[in-house]
Amino acid sequence: MLMKLTYPVGNLIRFDVNIYNLNKDIPLTIDSNAAYGLGTDNDGKLSVGIICRYKIFSIDQNNDELIGYVRESESNIVEFNDAHADLPILIKFCSDAFINVELDFQERMQLPYNIFGYIRPSFDKIGQSLLNQLVDAGFYKSIL
């Protein structure tokens, strides 16, 4: 049995661009963060949610922000399996979240090409971080 997640929901948190100072060679930085949270569902049962957030920004030589963009994707864990089997699912969740970031950012910036090819985050590390948090919280008996 594999880990089951609800359909992910993406949210744009922030999009600011200083169009007057942009040039073709925009140096972008990507910060990623993944975490879990506890809540209750509509029936009052414990609910475990996961979130993957990506922040994209660019700062010029004067430390002025040229681009500020934050988007996150969240889902609830419906069913756990074991840490070894669930890790690829967590990695895919983080990877799929970034695909949505790529598409949304490219559309908002009106770019005819994908600018993230050379600065993609490590989805393996993000997924492993999320798994480690769930292990530390006691959702798994042991880690890989």
- List domains and CATH numbers for the chain: 4-136 (3.10.420.10)
65-89 as b/e, with b when 16 or more CB fall inside 10 Å? ebbbbbbbbbbbbeebeebeebbeb
51: helix, coil or strand? strand
Vertex 138, ends 137 and 144: CA angle to 5°? 100
pLDDT of 144 over the 60 cut: no
More confident residue, 13 or 58: 13
pLDDT surpassing 70 at residue 23:
no
60-68 average pLDDT score:
83
pLDDT of residue 59: 84
Helix, strand counts (H, E) of the chain: 2, 5
Q: What's the average model confidence in pLDDT over 64-82?
A: 89
pLDDT at 52 (0 to 100) = 93
Residue 21 has pLDDT above 70, yes or no: no
Rounded mean pLDDT, 82-92: 93
